[in-house]
Amino acid sequence: MVFRKLQRSTSSSVRLAGCVLCLCVGLASPAAAQDSGGEPAQPVEQTEEAQTAEASDAEASQSEASSSDASEQEASEQEASNGEASDGEEDAEASNSESAEAEGGLAQAEKDFQEAYRRYSEEMSDYQGTVDSIVEAEYNQRIAKINRVYDRKIDNLEAVERQRRKEAIAAFEEYLRRYPDTPGYTPDALFRLAELYFEKANDDYLVADENYQSELALYEAGKRADPPKLPERDYSKTMSLFTQLITDWPDYEQADGAYYLLAYTKLQDAQDDEARQLLTELVQNYPDSRFVPEAWIRIGEYWFAYAEGPEALAKAKNAYEQAMQYPDSKFYDKALYKLAWTYYRMDDFKKAIGEFKRLVKFSDEQKQKTGRSGSVLRAEAVQYIAVSLAEEDWDLDGAVDMGFGLDRVKKYLSGDEPYEREVLVQFVDYMFENNRYAVAAETINYALSKYPRHRDNPQLHEKLILALIRDGRRDASFAERRNLLAYYGPESDWYEFQERVGHEDAVRHADNLVKDNLIQSATWFHEEAQKLKNEAVVRQDTQMLALAREKYAKAASAYEDFLARYPNDKDLYQWNFYYAECLYYSEQYVPAYEQYRVVRELDISDNKYQEKAAFNAIKSIEFKMRELAQRGEIPAKAVPGGGVEDARQAAQQQESASASAQQAGEGNDQKRVIEPEAMPAMLGKYITAMDRYVVLGLENESDPDLDLKFAFQAGKLFYDFKDYDTARERFNWIVDNYPENELAYLAGSLILETYRQEQDYTKLAAAAERLSEVIKGEQAQAIKEEVRQFKLGAMFKSAEQLFANKQYEKAAKEYQRVVNNAPDHEYAPKALNNAAVAYENIGKYESAMKLYERVYNDYPQNPLAGYALYRVAVNSERFFDFDKAVQSYTLFYDKYEGQNPQELTDMGFIIADKRQNALRSASVLTENLQRYERAAKLYEQYVRAYPSAEDSAGAQWRALKSWQKAGEPRKMMKAISTYRREFGGSADKNAKVLEAMMMVAEHYEDSGDERKATKWYEDIVEEFKKRSPEGDPASAYYAANARFLLAEESFQDWKAIEIKGSMKRQGRLLKKKIEVQKEVAKEFQEVWSYGSLEWTLASTFRIGSLYQAFAESLYNVPIPFEEGTEEFDIYRMQLDDMVIPLEDKAIQYYEQTIAKAREEKVVNEWTKKTLEELNKFMPDKYPLYKEERREVAKRARTGTSFMSADAYEASTTEPSGSALDEGSDSSGANGAAGEQGDDS
């Protein structure tokens, strides 16, 4: 607020009388405008830089427009206001004193702030936020105090200023009333008075705007009902006075300034036409005025922005050229810029580029001369050089120009100007915006080769990689990623040059770029490998799985390179884990174990991969040991597996052996010493890996007891290798720490078994006594059962509370504990179900599915069994186990119906709705599995069960399509009949009905029953006429297809007519062939009326074929004269003369076909056939690419026509042209006529 008021107070009382209204391109003077409200409406868009430049030009215009009689005016005004001069001076002195004091306070506050910030940041960095807030508060208090001082003084100055302006206006008006016709004084008075009214209009606007802002704040706060009205400036008095001045005093020495300033106020008042007229009069009447260059600019702006049509642009161009006649003017660069813009709007891109380049060169030359920026419009000029080069259609023919792209860029950018790289970079940006990634990549390569040491090349190279990716060239993009190290690494020329010239930031960026792309290369191979692996698992494709392993190996190699080069990266642990994963899935198990071990042991606060790394380290050794066991390098018992089950068997044996063991102990205390067997070294790593999992206290999401299982497995291995002391030590740890777990019981059984093997029955008895405290007697069992029930209830309640608090993972584990401890409890089904729901809520669908399966399998009579079965189906579908999904959906539909249990109703699970969903899903999934016969039956079952469903028509359609794919034509036709009967009456099913009829016709065609096929084609045409669908290209496609195929039959019949026999017979046959040709051509022309582009092209091609076939048949006519006779030669020449017009007609139709195809950018079977035929006639004009080229003999016209001209013309059928050139629909079935291409 202080600084805004300081700006407003710049007009002193002395300045009031002598202030001169000033104007520049787009801006009023700061003194007149007073704040942002003084800016006039701009005739064209300009950048902030351009507006800033114009603001500086405004000051120059203001000084030029000022009156040379300022001293006289000040004297007059001084006399008019001498009563208050002394008071104003005292106020000014007081204001200056207090302002100086306030400014000193501000400077001191800023100094204190900086010093406090420095001191506290050095001494108490841990409390930086607190220090900042304290110092900032003190600083803000001082600013507020200074603002209060300035506000009070500025308000006083403004009041004085307004009063003196009012008095000055009154004095000038009184002077004009008394002396309306005094030469030398009256026009000056008019000029000064107009200025004062201009200043008053601005001041009034500012006051009104402040009031508007206050009222607007009240409105936004809800304290005012209606929004306030926006204030407006009123320049009417100013305009009236300037008009009077130029009318009554045309020879006034500052008349040109009056014209100019009047034009400005007209512009402010949106009177653009009047303003242009005034400016035109200025340049005509005052050609030597200093305002002429700027006036021409404004005239050009008028025609450029407000008028329309090419004439207006031509006038704008002329005005800018007039302004450029003043090269020393401050507006020269603006004129040059706007002239270039005008050429651009006139689509004269060559001249636009030339003028924009002139502006850039002019700006650079000025900067070189002065050391300052030559023109603020330089950046936009560079931008529009690129924009012009990026225009694809300079010749406005609707197609991309032949020279578009890098060829055009090289033509207009020689590579020798310093600004040209800027243009290239912007051109690349526009190519990105227009999805021209191939052109962008080509241009970037050119720029990189042209400017190999530019500091910003790494950024440009990033765009090259992105362009290649978006252009679908991923392999090329990753090749570029690998090249980045060679381009910008420490060994590169670019890197050495940047270090030598001190571009440290560029070097840092390049290093980051190389680093990022190294890791991106690794992650890309990693992601591709994951996709392949997942798909291979679904498809059970071993070859795809092998390819996935190769990708994993490449990713592992890339990760290894990255970790070697950047060992201190902040995400080291993540990349290390990914490295281990890729080694693991590429079956490099020992290196994978080592890298998993590194991740497992990382000492960081949030090692989110620790559990998985520890687990996979164990699995890596397992796989390696299996390999070694298969090769016979280690014993089979070292291979993990079956540990818990073996323990259960040992426990059962222990029960039967306990009595005999006690008897043996009574009479035989001979102990056996059992020596431990040697364990393979790999087994030691395996046990250590499991120990680390347990010691680190890791938890597995899907198996809460995994750590206990590992501990048990480790002990079991020592047991298997007869190291009983170590095994017992480990088993006792399990018993002590997990006394209620089954594995504790099994561990105890194996402890007893070790003593039995050693025949140490004393220790066996002691161990049994100790273990009996875990499971001992009926009384203990009863107490245990009571505690068990209490714990179960508490656990269930705890799980419910966790679920309610959305701690779903913990809730799931707690629910599973309930079931694991009491699988036969009444809470068990609900607990399993709730645990599954909890896992679904956090996206662990596989875990959820396993639990739902337990509900359905273990508790089939529970109401939740149906819900669980449905969720099994849903989650199987999520995990792409479609067979299981179909089986579960079908089973659910068949088994569950009838009344909805209240428990399911409370859950929002309505069996009737879910049965419908299940049957629908089973149908779709079965079709996706390509079991088409089963899918068709399911779809038909769905239609029968839910005939009124919105998607029943779609289901019936998919049923008939499935019967078709299943190779069951009779069932397909029956399904089609049902579809037409039940759903075909709706207008939106027109296309589907016709498509279905076409399927029947094609069936008969394929089976060789041409009669029935023809009948169906005719029915399709009639059905289309009956339905008369308008604006339905899909329906028209099938009708046009059928009509074409009917015409095709006629075409084949016509081709069968052979011209042979005697001369008389040949004449009759020729006449017949001509007459039938007309009819066949008309049949093909009827296809055009359907507006289907594909079949219009096909029929037009076929008409061409008609003429070509006719010509070929004439070549083959047997000549009824002996070869070598004069009659033979004459007859042959007459036939040739008939052939050539026919071939010309064929070419005419072929060229129409290919022209329309190219216009619509369509490539299909018919366009290819057309090109092949045209190539036979004109190989140079219509070459074949990537296909065998055929030579076509040149033809010559000789002799006379066999028929008269009139007869021949009557025999030909002209193409109407309308089917291809007008009204032809580019849509075929489903709106597509063929492949889209740049050229057909």
How far is it, in rounded angstroms, from Cα 313 to Cα 394?
18
Average pLDDT of the residues in 410-425: 85
How far is it, in rounded angstroms, from Cα 668 to Cα 658?
15
Average pLDDT of the residues in 1181-1187: 73
What pLDDT is recorded for position 2?
A: 32
pLDDT reading at 661 higher than 70 = no
Average pLDDT of the residues in 411-439: 88
Average pLDDT of the residues in 186-204: 91
Residue 766 makes CB contacts below 8 A (sequence gap 6+) with none
What pLDDT is recorded for position 348?
A: 87
Asked whether 625 and 613 are in contact (CB, 8 A), the reply is no
Classify residue 371 as exposed, middle or buried by CB count within 10 Å of its CB (0-12, 13-18, 19+): exposed
Topology classification of domain 808-995: 1.25.40
Asked whether 1110 and 1077 are in contact (CB, 8 A), the reply is yes
Q: What is the mean pLDDT of the chain?
A: 79
pLDDT reading at 250 higher than 70 = yes
What pLDDT is recorded for position 130?
A: 52
- Of the listed ranges 67-71, 268-272, 313-317, 1002-1006, the least confidently predicted one is 67-71
Asked whether 990 and 1029 are in contact (CB, 8 A), the reply is yes
Strands 23-24 and 27-28: antiparallel
Average pLDDT of the residues in 259-263: 91
How far is it, in rounded angstroms, from Cα 873 to Cα 883?
10
What pLDDT is recorded for position 17?
A: 30
pLDDT tens digit string along 544-581? 999 999 999 988 988 888 888 788 888 888 999 999 99
1186: left (phi over 0), alpha (psi -120 to 50) or beta: left
pLDDT tens digit string along 512-530? 888 888 888 888 889 989 9
In residues, how long is the chain? 1240
What pLDDT is recorded for position 814?
A: 85
How far is it, in rounded angstroms, from Cα 826 to Cα 823?
9
Kindly list the distances between the CA atom of residue 723 and the CA atoms of 638, 639, 756, 823, in Å, as whole numbers in the listed order.
Answer: 13, 17, 14, 36
Query: Of 711, 761, 704, 758, which Cα lies nearest the Cα of 736?
Result: 711
Tell me how many helices (H) and strands (E) the chain has.
Answer: 53, 4
pLDDT tens digit string along 1199-1229? 222 333 343 334 333 333 333 333 333 333 4
Q: What is the CA radius of gyration of the chain?
A: 47
pLDDT reading at 304 higher than 60 = yes
pLDDT reading at 1141 higher than 70 = yes
What is the phi/psi pair of residue 28, to 5°? -85, 165
- Residue-by-residue DSSP string for 802-869: HHHTT-HHHHHHHHHHHHHH-TTSTTHHHHHHHHHHHHHHTT-HHHHHHHHHHHHHH-TTSTHHHHHH
Q: Which tokens hold the place of 131?
A: 């220090």
| Distance, C-alpha 345 to centroid of its chain | 31
How far is it, in rounded angstroms, from Cα 1176 to Cα 1171?
9
pLDDT reading at 419 higher than 90 = no
pLDDT reading at 681 higher than 50 = yes
Asked whether 569 and 536 are in contact (CB, 8 A), the reply is no
| Neighbouring C-alpha atoms within 13 Å toward the C-beta of 800 | 8
Please, what is the angle between helix 70-80 and helix 128-178, to 10°?
90
Query: What single letter denotes the amino acid at residue 338?
Result: K
How far is it, in rounded angstroms, from Cα 331 to Cα 762?
113
What pLDDT is recorded for position 1201?
A: 28
Asked whether 449 and 406 are in contact (CB, 8 A), the reply is no
pLDDT over 70, % of the chain: 78
- Residue-by-residue DSSP string for 1114-1155: HHTPPPSS-TTSHHHHHHHHHHHHHHHHHHHHHHHHHHHHHH
Query: Of 1055, 1056, 1061, 1202, which Cα lies nearest the Cα of 1118?
Result: 1061
pLDDT reading at 479 higher than 80 = no
What pLDDT is recorded for position 1184?
A: 82
pLDDT tens digit string along 606-645? 888 999 999 999 999 999 999 999 998 899 888 876 556 6
What pLDDT is recorded for position 26?
A: 34
Query: Of 883, 823, 882, 814, which Cα lies nearest the Cα of 855?
Result: 823
pLDDT reading at 434 higher than 60 = yes
Q: How confident is the model at residue 741 (pLDDT cuts 50, 70, 90)?
A: confident
What pLDDT is recorded for position 822?
A: 77
pLDDT tens digit string along 898-914? 888 888 888 888 888 99
- The secondary structure element, H or E, covering residue 686 is helix 681-695
Asked whether 875 and 846 are in contact (CB, 8 A), the reply is yes
- Residue-by-residue DSSP string for 1061-1083: SSHHHHHHHHHHHHHHHHHHHHH
pLDDT over 90, % of the chain: 32
Asked whether 938 and 925 are in contact (CB, 8 A), the reply is no
Query: Of 987, 922, 995, which Cα lies nearest the Cα of 957?
Result: 995
- The secondary structure element, H or E, covering residue 797 is helix 778-804
Query: Of 370, 276, 381, 376, which Cα lies nearest the Cα of 57?
Result: 376
What pLDDT is recorded for position 935?
A: 93
How far is it, in rounded angstroms, from Cα 1023 to Cα 566?
72
What pLDDT is recorded for position 664?
A: 35
What pLDDT is recorded for position 778?
A: 37
pLDDT tens digit string along 926-961? 999 999 999 999 999 999 999 999 999 999 999 999
Asked whether 996 and 979 are in contact (CB, 8 A), the reply is yes
3-class state of residue 1163 by DSSP:
strand
3-class state of residue 27 by DSSP:
strand
pLDDT reading at 823 higher than 50 = yes
- Domain segments of the chain as ranges: 808-995, 1042-1236
pLDDT reading at 97 higher than 60 = no
What pLDDT is recorded for position 781?
A: 46
> Considering all CA atoms of the chain, what is the largest pairwise distance in Å, rounded to the nearest integer?
152
pLDDT tens digit string along 98-141? 444 444 544 555 555 555 545 544 554 544 455 456 656 666 77
Classify residue 308 as exposed, middle or buried by CB count within 10 Å of its CB (0-12, 13-18, 19+): exposed
What pLDDT is recorded for position 67?
A: 38
pLDDT reading at 752 higher than 90 = no
Q: How confident is the model at residue 999 (pLDDT cuts 50, 70, 90)?
A: very high
Average pLDDT of the residues in 714-732: 93
806-810, long-range: CB < 8 A, 24+ apart: 806/841, 808/838, 808/839, 808/841, 808/842, 809/701, 809/838, 809/839, 809/842, 809/844
What pLDDT is recorded for position 799?
A: 79
Query: Of 394, 399, 396, 398, which Cα lies nearest the Cα of 411?
Result: 394
What pLDDT is recorded for position 88?
A: 39
Q: Which tokens hold the place of 1028?
A: 């008369």
| Residue corresponding to tokens 């015409």 | 1047
Q: Which tokens hold the place of 575?
A: 């990349």
